[in-house]
């Protein structure tokens, strides 16, 4: 039984672009000193006060903690049941926080999509977190909740309605609209730098099972799509999906951590639908250009130009763009006997920030308040929170999940 804490949740990074949106979500949905006790944290009191003024009110407590000051981090995490962090790049700022949470018994959730860093956290802390009864949950944003929970939902419904899981799911992005923040771009840059200069990091990123538990880094899936091809399942041209390299690994980790409830031969992939006919094919090539630009070689001339154009840390898509944003994902599931179902997952705001901040906020509330199983370790969202999170995504985060037999 964990000791009583002053707060249910502390949002660390509350002055950042996404942190501020998480504050807005919690304040709007839970107030301050009601059933949910929460606080805002960061390294800069002035900025935190500004966020509190614009997104909440003076009753939200402020805590100062800097990643360079371990004492401040420890004093922060011992006051709360759950730390919800948006301080990224996580490979730069995250190690000490995870270590302290694991050792002090504080549950944790974040927005990391930095596969190489999550691999490091798994290797260093999974066993200790398991022994200490702590849940460390990465990827609680657009990467990878819709994918991880979409597959979880699909398999749960298939078991309930057809008595067996799908042995193959192909996720296709059918529609998406949003933008990028400076923080996300900085994190992507960090991943690219580490992958260019460290072969071991590259190997983890390139391995479809790069996030699986030690000793289970294997399976039938191959690398993510990196070209424009015709897709029989969606009957259209498809191209790479920028988040596939993270999401597919998270889904495979969920399967392995569950003891392979999706099956040992389960296969999963993700791609973006570009359209039908010649138009669809051309659109595919055009859609690949931003992807190539974003992953330009570190320190190259092109990279320096992109650094100047893209948002800086603290900046991101404007409110109107976030509110007009959306996503529409299709999960084509195939059963062993060849029968098929189609699951649709939608989100009501831009994926990266409007929707992500609601998903992360609800993941934190779920960890703090719901009657979760006592599974612990470095977990995925579906393994840590399962049905409880699904309910929160549908009721409070603007996601829909629908199951159709085709
Ligand atoms: N998984 C997803 O779908 C998803 C979606 C969105 C974002 N993300 C990730 O979330 C992270 C945050 O993105 P963002 O756009 O919100 O970034 P951001 O605006 O740059 O915010 C970063 C936050 O970290 C704080 N920070 C920086 N250095 C610190 C230190 N030494 N100690 C304490 N706090 C420090 C900043 O504080 P100051 O304000 O004082 O500078 C700020 O509050 C990124 O890693 C991004 O990739 C993931």
DSSP label at residue 68: T
Distance 17 CA to ligand 1 centre (A): 7
Residue 33 sits in the same domain as residue 167: no
**Whether residue 265 is found in the same domain as residue 366:** no
Question: CB atoms < 10 A from the CB of 151, how many?
Answer: 30
Residue nearest to atom 13 of ligand 1 (CA): 183
Q: With respect to residue 2, please indicate whether it lies within any of the assigned structural domains.
A: no
Q: Are residues 292 and 181 in the same domain?
A: yes
- 233 & 320 share domain: yes
The Cα 366–Cα 81 span in angstroms is 11
Exposed, middle or buried: residue 289 (CB in 10 Å: 0-12, 13-18, 19+)? exposed
From 110, 183, 381, mutation site for ligand 1 pocket: most ligand atoms within 8 A of C-beta: 183
Does residue 116 share a domain with residue 186? no
Clarify whether residues 123 and 243 are in a common domain.
no
Listing DSSP states for 303-352 in one string gives: HHHHHHHSPPTT----HHHHHH-EEEEEEEEE-TTS-EEEEEEEESS-II
Instruction: State the distance from the centre of ligand 1 to the C-alpha of 55, rounded, in angstroms.
Output: 17
Q: CA-CA distances (angstroms) from residue 367 to 18, 67, 108, 362?
A: 19, 23, 8, 8
For residue range 244-277, list pLDDT tens digits in order.
999 999 999 999 999 999 999 999 999 999 999 9
Closest CA relative to residue 332, chosen from 199, 158, 203 = 158
Closest atom, ligand 1, to C-alpha of 113 = 1
Q: Is the CB of 239 under 6 A from ligand 1?
A: no
CB 239 within 8 A of CB 228: yes
Question: Which CATH number fits the domain that encloses residue 20?
Answer: 3.40.50.720
- The 3-state DSSP class for residue 8 equals strand
Q: Please state, in angstroms and rounded to a whole number, the distance separating the CA atoms of residues 212 and 122.
A: 9
**Claim to verify: residue 199 and residue 338 sit in the same structural domain:** yes
Q: Are residues 131 and 87 in the same domain?
A: yes
Query: Which CA distances in Å does 304 have to 31, 316, 348?
Result: 43, 19, 34
- 142 Cβ below 6 A of ligand 1: yes
Q: Evaluate whether residue 312 is within a structural domain.
A: yes
* 278 falls within a domain: yes
Which atom of ligand 1 is nearest the CA belonging to 68? 31
Residue 252 lies in a domain: yes
Task: Answer yes or no: do 172 and 137 share one domain.
Answer: no
First to last CA, the chain: 47
Spatial distance between the Cα atoms of 59 and 33, rounded to a whole number of angstroms: 8
Say if residues 164 and 263 touch (Cβ distance below 8 Å): no
Examine residue 318 and state whether it is found in any structural domain, yes or no: yes
Distance between Cα 127 and ligand 1 center (Å): 27
Distance 184 CA to ligand 1 centre (A): 8
Write out residues in the chain with pLDDT < 70, as ranges: 1-3
Tell me whether residue 108 is exposed, middle or buried, using C-beta atoms within 10 angstroms of its C-beta: 0 to 12, 13 to 18, 19 or more. Answer: buried
Task: Kindly state if the Cβ of 247 falls inside 6 Å of ligand 1.
Answer: no
Q: Do the beta carbons of residue 41 and residue 62 sit within 8 Å?
A: yes
Same domain for 164 and 133: no
The atom of ligand 1 lying closest to the CA of 15 is: 43
Same domain, 264 and 370: no
339 and 299 in a common domain: yes
Q: What is the predicted pLDDT for the residue at 2?
A: 55
Number of domains in the chain: 2
Question: pLDDT value at position 1?
Answer: 45
Structural domain harbouring 13: 7-142+357-389
Residue 141 DSSP symbol: B
Q: Looking at the domain assignment, is residue 1 inside a domain?
A: no
Does residue 111 line the site of ligand 1, with CB under 6 A? Answer: yes
Q: Is the CB of 80 under 6 A from ligand 1?
A: no
């Amino acid at each position: 039984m964990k000791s009583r804490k002053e707060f249910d949740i502390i949002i660390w990074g509350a002055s950042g672009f996404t942190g501020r949106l998480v504050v807005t979500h919690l304040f709007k949905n839970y107030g301050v000193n009601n059933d949910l006790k929460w606080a805002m944290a960061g390294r800069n009191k002035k900025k935190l006060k500004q966020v509190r003024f614009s997104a909440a009110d003076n009753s939200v407590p402020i805590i100062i903690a800097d990643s360079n000051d371990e004492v401040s981090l420890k004093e922060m995490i011992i006051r709360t049941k759950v730390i919800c962090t948006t301080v990224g790049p996580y490979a730069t700022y995250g190690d000490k926080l995870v270590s302290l949470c694991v050792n002090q018994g504080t549950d944790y959730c974040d927005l990391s999509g930095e596969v190489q860093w999550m691999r490091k956290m798994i290797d260093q802390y999974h066993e200790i977190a398991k022994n200490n009864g702590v849940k460390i949950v990465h990827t609680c944003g657009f990467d990878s909740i819709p994918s991880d929970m979409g597959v979880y939902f699909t398999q749960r419904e298939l078991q309930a309605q057809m008595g067996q899981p799908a042995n193959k799911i192909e996720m296709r992005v059918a529609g998406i609209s949003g933008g990028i923040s400076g923080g996300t771009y900085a994190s992507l840059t960090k991943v690219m730098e580490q992958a260019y200069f460290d072969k071991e990091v590259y190997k983890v990123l390139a391995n479809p099972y790069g996030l699986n538990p030690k000793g289970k880094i294997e399976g039938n899936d191959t690398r993510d799509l990196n070209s424009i091809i015709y897709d029989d399942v969606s009957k259209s041209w498809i191209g790479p999906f920028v988040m596939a390299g993270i999401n597919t690994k998270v889904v495979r980790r969920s399967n392995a951590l569950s003891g392979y409830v999706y099956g040992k031969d389960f296969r999963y992939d993700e791609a973006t639908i570009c359209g039908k006919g010649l138009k669809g094919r051309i659109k595919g090539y055009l859609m690949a250009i931003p992807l190539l630009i974003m992953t330009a070689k570190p320190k190259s001339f092109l990279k320096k130009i992109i650094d100047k154009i893209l948002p800086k840390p603290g900046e991101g898509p404007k409110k109107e763009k976030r509110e007009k944003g959306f996503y529409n994902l299709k999960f084509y599931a195939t059963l062993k006997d060849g029968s098929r179902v189609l699951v649709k997952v939608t989100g009501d705001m831009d994926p990266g920030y409007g929707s992500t901040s609601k998903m992360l906020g609800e993941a934190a509330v779920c960890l703090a308040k719901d009657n979760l199983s006592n599974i612990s370790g470095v977990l995925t969202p579906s393994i840590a929170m399962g049905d409880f999170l699904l309910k929160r995504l549908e009721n409070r985060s603007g996601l829909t999940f629908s199951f159709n037999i085709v």
